[in-house]
């Protein structure tokens, strides 16, 4: 089973056992988190599309660790004025492991006569 989730303005395609790099989360390592905004759930036989999200669907995950991305160098340069400026930046990231994808069918109570 696979799902498409939305978190922090980004969409990710996930399945059980995947490890994902997300923009930094406030949870500590080994903390369990739940993603409620599930846009699509599918497997070999069925597909559930949310309007905008799939009802009663959740993706459970665990925070593995916090880390930094590779350094990005930003250079500014102006010709004939001897102006050069180089600046670096490293984005903070969180590594998350997907534990399970939970969907529950909407079970309506039986009508009584």
How confident is the model over 58-74, as pLDDT tens digits?
A: 999 999 999 999 999 99
Respond yes or no on whether the N-terminal peptide bond of residue 76 is cis (omega within 30° of 0): no
pLDDT for res 113: 60
> Quick one: which of 4, 29, 30, 31 has its CA closest to 15?
4
Give the start-to-end residue ranges of the domains of the chain: 2-103
Kindly give the parts of the chain with pLDDT less than 70. Answer: 105-113
């Amino acid at each position: 089973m696979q799902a498409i989730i939305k978190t922090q303005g980004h969409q990710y395609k996930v399945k059980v056992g995947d490890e994902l790099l997300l923009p930094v989360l406030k949870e500590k390592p080994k903390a369990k988190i739940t993603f409620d905004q599930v846009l699509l759930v599918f497997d070999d036989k069925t597909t559930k599309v949310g309007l905008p999200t799939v009802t009663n669907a959740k993706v459970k995950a665990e925070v593995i660790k916090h880390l930094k991305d590779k350094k990005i160098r930003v250079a500014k340069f102006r010709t004939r004025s001897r102006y050069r400026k180089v600046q670096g930046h490293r984005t903070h990231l969180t590594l998350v492991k997907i534990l399970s994808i939970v969907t529950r069918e909407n079970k309506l109570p039986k009508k009584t006569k």
